[in-house]
Amino acid sequence: MTASNDIGALAAMMFARALESALLTRADCGFQLLSSGQEAVAVGLAAALLPHDQLLCSGRSIAPALARGLDPGLVMAELIGRAAGPCLGRGGRGHLSQPSAGFFGAHAVVAGNLSIAAGVALALQARRDGSIAACLFGDGACGAGALHETMNIAALWRLPLLLVCDNNLYSVSTPRAAALAPRQLSDLATPFGIKACTVDGMDVRVVREAAVALTDHVRNGGGPAFLECISRRFASHSTSARETRGKKELAADRELDPIKRLENALLAEGTLSAQTVEALREEVRAKVMAACAFAEASPLPVPEEAFADVG
């Protein structure tokens, strides 16, 4: 991986963090699930995807959408329910989607996107061009039958599907070990013969390296793969969920900040200087402002949209 990839990864993580912060300052912020703390998983995964791949995710969609390369103004517009959003303001964060940009997108039902992703993979398999479907989900989805059923069929049919479990160690308030019996979540895939591994989700280089290895495996007809990334959720589960963790735990999580980690590494390696880091932050601030301005300027949908495109 080249240095520019690392700088790009740092900028992408900074940008996701900054856009979410800007979103939170708004009165019309609405009900949000934030990616902060988990940016390395989204950015590391996205670095392994090619233009013709499709990325699906859960309701925690902001960093995945931005990492995939969606226009930030469009993303912000969708998040605040404006008509310029790719879903015309109707989907919001929970259903953020832009298939033309390789982002089949979010579905707010826990584990609800897994079999959908397998179906997308089935369609991509028929194209025979090496494109794959990747699906992001949390530890909370791992108790669902949908995961078991999807892994079974994906393995049987050797679907080009990469399952990425962003395990932030909590399903709302329930610690991972209280909800799920396996020693590690990648163990769920092993009985199906699916290539699986568990990595540090707070290190974007580690995530990227693992994602590249597994996407290569999937792309080359190796069948599906399962990547577990262990991350930390900096905020509570959602903007309406109470925080259940104590100050000490939260502080310890912050020590693992993937942005700080990569920044420090790049400074230590001489890839970046203090000035270039500051320049990067300035660029991020400007892009966030531009995205917000674009979204602000977009109108809300008209009430008649409530029954448009029903089908």
Partner 1 sequence: MSAEPVRMRRVFFREAICRAVRETLDADPNAIVMGQDVGAFGGSYREFSGLFERFGPARVRDTPVAEAAMVGLGIGAAAAGLRPLVSITYMDFVLLALDPLVNYAAKARFKTGGQIRVPLVVKLTAGAKGQGVAHSQSFESWLMSVPGLRVVAPSNVANAYGLMRSALQADGPVVYVDHKRLFPTSGPLDDSAPEVPFGMATVSRPGRHATVIAHSYMVSVALAASGVLAATGIDCEVIDLRSLAPLDLATVCTSVSKTGALLTLEEGQVACGIGAEIACQVQARLGPVRVSRLGAVPAPVSSNSVLEAASLPDAARVAEAVRRLLRTPEIPPPHRG
Binding site for partner 1 (CB under 8 A): 54, 85-91, 95, 97-100, 104-105, 107, 109, 112, 114-124, 126, 133, 145-146, 149-150, 152-153, 156-157, 307-311
* Minimal distance, residue 209 CB to partner 1, in Å: 28
* Minimal distance, residue 39 CB to partner 1, in Å: 25
Choice between 115 and 271, CB closer to partner 1: 115
Choice between 22 and 109, CB closer to partner 1: 109
Specify the pairing of strand 174-175 against strand 170-171: antiparallel
- What is the separation, in whole angstroms, between the first and last Cα of the chain? 45
Choice between 122 and 250, CB closer to partner 1: 122
CA pair distance 176, 222, nearest whole angstrom: 30
* Minimal distance, residue 97 CB to partner 1, in Å: 5
Choice between 126 and 251, CB closer to partner 1: 126
CA pair distance 160, 73, nearest whole angstrom: 31
Choice between 242 and 307, CB closer to partner 1: 307
The angle at the Cα of 18, spanning 208 to 95, to the nearest 5 degrees, equals 75
CA 262 to chain centre: 18
CA pair distance 17, 28, nearest whole angstrom: 18
Choice between 51 and 145, CB closer to partner 1: 145
CA pair distance 156, 266, nearest whole angstrom: 43
CA pair distance 147, 45, nearest whole angstrom: 19
Q: Which amino acid is at 145?
A: G
Choice between 268 and 310, CB closer to partner 1: 310
Q: How many residues does the chain have?
A: 311
CA pair distance 134, 118, nearest whole angstrom: 9
SS3 167: strand
Phi-psi region of 26 (alpha: psi -120 to 50; beta: other; left: phi over 0): beta
* Minimal distance, residue 59 CB to partner 1, in Å: 12
* Minimal distance, residue 153 CB to partner 1, in Å: 6
* Minimal distance, residue 88 CB to partner 1, in Å: 3
* Minimal distance, residue 89 CB to partner 1, in Å: 8
